[in-house]
A = this chain, B = another copy of it.
Amino acid sequence: MPTSNPLETLVTETAIDDIGAYMNELGARARAASRALARAETAAKNAALHAIADDIDGRRDLITTANRHDLEAGAAKGLDAALLDRLELTPGRIDAMIEGLRQIAALPDPVGTITDLAYRPSGIQVGRMRVPLGVVGIIYESRPNVTADAAGLCLKSGNACVLRGGSEAFASNQAIAASVRDGLADAGLPADAVQVLATTDRAAVGAMIQMPEAIDVIIPRGGKGLIERISRDARVPVIKHLDGVCHVYIDAAAEPDKAFAIALNAKTQRYGTCNTMETLLVAEDVAERILPRLGAAYAAKGVELRGCPRACTLLPDAVRANEADWAAEYLAPILAVRVVADLDAAIDHIARYGSGHTDAIVTEDYSRARRFLREVDSSSVMVNASTRFADGFEYGLGAEIGISTDKFHARGPVGLEGLTSQKFVVLGDGQIRGG
């Protein structure tokens, strides 16, 4: 609850002498809370989600004040405009946090679902029950809305969580955390189920990724450097989201209008997202028909083109691509373009330079579509659709805590199900094993 001087308590970091002891204590509380949360009824979890949403709605002033404090401190420290933009909690973004929590409440609860329950020859029934992972650690950068989103997804999936946001968003995160704690308590769930670190000390991150006894999985959200550093040092499994070097391959049998629309949308609908196309591959049989029209459309949008020699002959504004361009995740209005011989060459290019995120083929040829789906080893493979669809909401997962570029455990957009595991359940009537 807000105290007599609420802002003061939010912006002032607690002095912690012994980070190791603090993290051990926090981890033990998370572990204990995770047991209560794993068996919490769906109704209680949904009540908590709505209570948190209500609480955020009722404390907009405090949250905005805390956020303004972060923004001013950030500006004084010289943070760049893009970072300050990500940091800002506008009224619309606060609305979105609230709405996001209510949407998570409306999703089906995966926990406890039993599938494939079938009789075995011995007479036992064997099935699988979906269960929470336990305690999820999330390490993120500037966006404070992640605090509410991540808390909501972990809560609904029955997991306790430990959240470590960016130091530049400290006061904003603490303000949201206060609402989360109060909402949990209102619903009779342990407030320790969601703990936001009360320190920005980097040693806390080091401890967090090395305590498998307390934390079952780490999800880092942020730049590649952060994710690589965490993956290297972690002693806990990490759900990684590395590069999105996404391709669209326009096949010789592509319908030209679909190819045009998809290639334009995949690059220009948004430039900074991981599922944005970074390299366009075009079959040589249709390059002459496809590329000039596309090139003009990209030019009209201000997209810089970097092409292979053949592409450059068809794209007057293009500059020559070098080897690094084929592996680049520009996240900007820049596109690499390569003319390839055929489907095999496209698949080989993607295998060599791609990051296994999202790749699409545009074709009306049944057999080539079928081969592309099977042979391209990416978290999302598409036929005749824009790579921009690779997203938890578009896929019907309801919400996503991230996109995994790993193959292990979860691949692609990670929703509630990706935050769970399955245990075997066996129902018998006194069966014993013979032999």
Contacts and interface: CB of A to CB of B under 8 A. Distances in A.
Query: By DSSP majority rule, is chain A's interface helix, strand, loop, or mixed?
Result: mixed
Contacts of A425: 373, 380-382
Interface stretch (A22-30, A310-318, A426-434): A426-434
A255 B430 CA distance: 9
Nearest to A237: B408
A411 B422 contact: yes
Interface string A24-45: 0000000000010011000000
Given A124-B389, A375-B39, A383 B426 contact: yes
Given A395-B120, A396-B126, A430-B262, A423 B217 contact: no
Contacts of A5: none
A382 B426 contact: yes
A265 B432 contact: yes
Contact of A269 (B360, B408, B432): B432
Contacts of A124: 382, 385, 389, 394
The 4 closest A-B pairs by CB, nearest first: A385-B428, A265-B432, A258-B430, A382-B426
Contact of A131 (B262, B264, B377, B384): B377
A433 B421 CA distance: 32
A408 B133 contact: yes
Given A380-B423, A411-B423, 7 more contacts: A112-B374, A118-B396, A134-B377, A217-B408, A258-B430, A261-B430, A378-B423
B412 A409 contact: no
Nearest to A356: B423
Contact of A433 (B377, B389, B432): B389
A39 B396 contact: no
A390 interface: yes
Contacts of A408: 133, 216-217, 237, 408-409, 421
